[in-house]
Amino acid sequence: MSLAQDPRAMAEIELGAAPGEAPRPTPRPRGRDGLVRGLLGNGKAVAGLVILAVFAAVALLAPVIAPGDPNLIQGLGAQPPSPEHLLGTTAKGQDVLALNIWGARSSLFVGFTVGILATLVGLLVGLASAYLGKTVDNLLSLVTNVFLLLPGLPLLVILAAFLPQGLGTVIVVLVITGWAGSARVLRSQALSIRGKDFVAAAQVSGESSLRIMFREMLPNMASIVMSTLLACVIFGIGAQAGLEFLGLGDISTISWGTNLYWASNDGALLTGSWWVFLPPGVCIALVAFALALVNYGVDETTNPRLRKPRRRVSPTAPTPVAGVDIADETKEERR
């Protein structure tokens, strides 16, 4: 690839240095260090991380911020927001703010657990498919495709209806319906790494299969694993809320989803008590949004081509000449 197309390439090519410049480029931080540092410099990622941190803090500090059992009836039913109840009360008379603060715990916990487990299963399937040969690949791909084709929601409903109620069930059910998507993505990335010479070189050196999969291939997949993880967490949070809204989750726990369930059950939609169903919805949306922002940040950090160019030069403009005003050039374009 010529320098004209990939400015990043020039950082890796040793040009005779311009006078005064250091002869050897300083080593760029690689792997995890590089990713973290890059993320912290990226506006979108920082915004997302901040929002997530706030929610995490709220969830962890729930006993401190909203002491007591949120299920207890604390006031008159269906009261709009007021100084004592900042988000009003539910139809039964519970404090909406407390319910949602405590709800963060379950929602975030289940969301992240599902995300991590689904990614893990997908990763194992993907790596195994890519590395362990055609037969294993065909078999695992068949299984993956079956799970992808099965309609998610009916499957969720059926599984949830038959298994005993509880958070464990919710997690299991969501992982079962959610792993296939990440498996497919991770498999294709793993396959492209499998074809690289350094994997063959590791084999020729005598490395064991497990070591090759986890110490040679996996580290090269870091950014896509991260993206998949974030996507799975979003799925976990949303799907959990969906399940619980249908009443198929664990009704006895407090989460944003069950809050929505009770909101609908107790007729908050009918009575127009927006303060009951809006907060859980907004929380879910905000967390999903924050995760998406971090995802964009990861993409931009690992793929410098996605970064916004400093100057507003159109990609089809002719090469600028020093001293000639660029604004004139871009004006030409719009004719």
Partner 1 sequence: MSAQTPVMSIRGLEKTFPIGGMLSRGRVRALGGVDLDIAPGEIVALVGESGSGKSTLARCLARLEQPSGGSLLFEGRDILRQEPRRASRSYRSAVQMIFQDPFGSLNPVHRVGHFLERPLRLHDAVSGRAELENAKRRLMEKVDLPAELLDRYPHELSGGQRQRIAIARALAVNPRLILADEPTSMLDVSVRIGVLNLMRTLCEQQGISMLYITHDLASARYLADRIVVMFAGEFVEGGEAMTLLAHPQHPYTRLLISAVPDPRRRGAFDPRERAQLRREVLKPVSCPFEGRSDTPCSRDAAVFHTVSESPEHWVRCGLYAPPSDAPGTALELPDTIEGATPA
Partner 2 sequence: MSAPLLEVEDLSVEYVTDTRTVRAVDRVSFTVGEGEVFGLAGESGCGKSTIANAILRLLRDPAVIAGGSIRFRGTDVLAFDHERLREFRWRQVAMVFQSAMNSLNPVMTIGDQIADIYTTHDRISKKEALRRSGDLLDLVGIPHDRLRSYPHQLSGGMRQRVVIAMATALRPPLLIMDEPTTALDVVVQQEIMAQIKDLQRELGFAVLFITHDMSLMVELSDRMAVMYAGRFVETARAQAVFEEPSHPYTRALMNAFPPMSGPRTRLRGLGEGVRFRDIPDLVSVGPGHWAAPIADDVPSSEASR
- Residues of this chain that bind partner 1 (CB under 8 A): 12, 14, 24-25, 27-28, 30-31, 138, 196-198, 200-207, 216, 219-220
- Of 21 and 197, nearer to partner 1 (C-beta) is 197
Q: Which of 113, 43, 49, 103 is nearest to 250 (CA)?
A: 103
Helix axes 152-162, 222-245, angle to 10 degrees: 60
Beta bridge partners of 89: 95
Site size toward partner 2 (CB under 8 A) is 30
Instruction: Work out how close the CB of 194 gets to partner 2 at its nearest, in angstroms, rounded to a whole number.
Output: 23
Q: How near is the Cβ of 185 to partner 2 at its closest, in Å?
A: 25
15 binds partner 2 (CB under 8 A): yes
Long-range CB contacts for residues 162-166, cutoff 8 Å, separation at least 24: 165/249, 165/250, 165/251, 165/252, 166/250
| Residue at 101: amino acid letter | I
The item of partner 2, partner 1, none sharing an interface with residue 303, based on CB under 5 to 8 Å by kind, is none
Site of tokens 């890796």:
12
Piece of 5-13, 49-57, 76-84, 198-206 that binds partner 2 (CB under 8 A): 5-13
In sequence order, the 6+-apart residues with CB closer than 8 A to the CB of 183 are 121, 122, 123, 125, 126, 129, 140, 144
Torsion angle in degrees (nearest 10) through CA of 166, 170, 171, 176:
140
Query: Residue 333: exposed, middle, or buried by beta-carbon count in 10 A (0-12, 13-18, 19+)?
Result: exposed
Distances (CA, A) of 224 to 229, 234, 296, 301, 302: 8, 15, 12, 12, 9
Measured from the CB of residue 233, what is the shortest distance to partner 1 in angstroms? 25
Which of the ranges 180-188, 230-238, 289-297, 312-320 carries the binding residues for partner 2, by CB under 8 A? 312-320
Q: Tell me if 99 sits within 8 A of 259, measured CB to CB.
A: yes
Query: Per rule CB under 8 A, is residue 3 in the interface with partner 2?
Result: yes
325 touches partner 2 (CB under 8 A): no
203 binds, among partner 1, partner 2, none (CB under 5 to 8 A by kind): partner 1
Q: Which is nearer to partner 1, 71 or 223 (CB)?
A: 223
> Residue 181 — φ and ψ, nearest 5°?
-60, -45
Residues comprising the chain, all counted: 335
10 binds partner 2, rule: CB under 8 A: yes
Q: At its nearest, how many Å lie between partner 2 and the CB of residue 25?
A: 9
Which member of 33, 84, 325, 333 binds partner 2 (CB under 8 A)? 333
Report the residue number, 92 or 196, with the smaller CB distance to partner 1: 196
Q: Whole-number minimum distance, CB 296 to partner 2, in Å? A: 20
Q: Which does 151 bind (CB under 5 to 8 A by kind): partner 1, partner 2, none?
A: none
Among 19, 27, 67, 151, binds partner 2 (CB under 8 A): 19
Q: Could you tell me the smallest distance in angstroms from the CB atom of residue 332 to partner 2?
A: 4
Determine if 309 is a binding residue for partner 2 (CB under 8 A): yes
Neighbouring CB atoms inside 10 A of 215's CB total 12
Binding site for partner 2 (CB under 8 A): 2-5, 7, 10, 13-19, 21, 23, 309-311, 313, 315, 318-322, 324, 329, 332-333, 335
